[in-house]
Amino acid sequence: MRKGEEFRKVWERVFSPYTVDNIMWLMRRYYLDGLEGCISTGKEADVYSAIAPGGERVAVKIYRIETSYFKDMAAYIEGDPRFERVKRDKRALVEMWGRKEFKNLLEASAAGVRVPEPIANRKNVLVMEFIGKGDEPAPTLHDTGPIDPEKEVRIMLEWSEKLYNASLVHADLNEFNVLVNGEELVLIDMGQAVSVKHPRAKEFLLRDLENISKYGEKNGVKVNPLEEYERITGESAG
Ligand SMILES: Nc1ncnc2c1ncn2[C@@H]1O[C@H](COP(=O)(O)OP(=O)(O)OP(=O)(O)O)[C@@H](O)[C@H]1O
Ligand SMILES: [Mg+2]
């Protein structure tokens, strides 16, 4: 049996033929040599560890089609001038979401925010830099708990500012979406990030800053989210 056919047989027990097609598309273009272990299963996406043909480890995020929350996702796309109108079918929306996360990672990285480098995207499948040591994925800041809360708060605020200056709002910034890779902190999960032109960008930025403030408060670091909002945007938070 040829390698591709073998792969399909195994993975169609786990994924839909549509998703297997997209993984195989990436394999044919030498982004992947198949998939290895599952790092995380979530409500919207599963993340796998994989090896690229050059031998380096990569992370592969695969968005679910069937269990995606259409209305929730649409709210983070509609109104973002970088994306066309939201199509009324799940598959198209999830494909748009994959493209959006890829683009957000590129823009965040260009803005100097430490995110996984995006490598490739095919419909609902995203390949990016693997964050971890060897084959061990880095834990989240929620898993590790605070190590140097002053530094963690400072870096999350810096990220918010750099993203804002690059016309982006993360919109889900909290300790679950920060990986602790040795000394380094890495911001992940950018599918929901929106352009500052999105009609709810202000609300989302304030919410991110409130999350940072809550994290600080629990760990003895004071952050005033309204002041931070005004400092970052130069606009009144009221
Ligand atoms: N590039 C990466 N390298 C290593 N691990 C990663 C990487 N990206 C994601 N992960 C792991 O996968 C988990 C889920 O990733 P992410 O936060 O991007 O997905 P999600 O959209 O929150 O999924 P859901 O909300 O459905 O759980 C992370 O908490 C982290 O453990
Ligand atoms: Mg997440």
DSSP codes of every residue in 82-150: TS-PPPSSHHHHHHHHHHHHHHHHHHHHHTT---PPEEEEETTEEEEE--EETTEEPPBHHHH--SSHH
On the question of pLDDT at 85 being above 80, the answer is no
Give nearest CA residue, ligand 1 atom 4: 131
What is the Cα–Cα distance from 24 to 69, expressed in whole angstroms?
26
Residues labelled catalytic = 172, 189
Residue 43's pLDDT band, with cuts at 50, 70 and 90, is confident
What is the Cα–Cα distance from 206 to 115, expressed in whole angstroms?
21
Question: So where are the chain's domains?
Answer: 12-130, 138-233
Q: Quick check: pTM over 0.85?
A: yes
DSSP codes of every residue in 16-65: -HHHHHHHHHHHHTTS-S----EEEE-SSEEEEEEE-TTS-EEEEEEE-S
The pick from 72, 115, 180, 188 for probing ligand 1's pocket by mutation, whose C-beta has the most ligand atoms within 8 angstroms, reads 188
In this prediction, residue 68 carries a pLDDT of: 67
Q: How far is the CA of 140 from the centre of ligand 2 (A)?
A: 9
Query: Does the beta carbon of 45 sit less than 6 angstroms from any atom of ligand 1?
Result: yes
CA–chain centroid gap for 104, Å, is: 8
Residues in the chain: 238
For 219, the 3-state DSSP assignment is coil
What is the Cα–Cα distance from 187 to 87, expressed in whole angstroms?
29
The model's pLDDT over 143-185, given as tens digits with 9 standing for 90+, comes to 999 999 999 999 999 999 999 999 999 999 999 999 999 999 9
Residue 42's pLDDT band, with cuts at 50, 70 and 90, is confident
Query: Does the beta carbon of 41 sit less than 6 angstroms from any atom of ligand 1?
Result: no
Token pair belonging to 223 = 């952050």
> If one looks up domain 12-130 in CATH, what number appears?
3.30.200.20
Task: Tell which CATH architecture fits domain 138-233.
Answer: Orthogonal Bundle (1.10)
What percent of the chain clears pLDDT 70, i.e. is strictly above it?
98
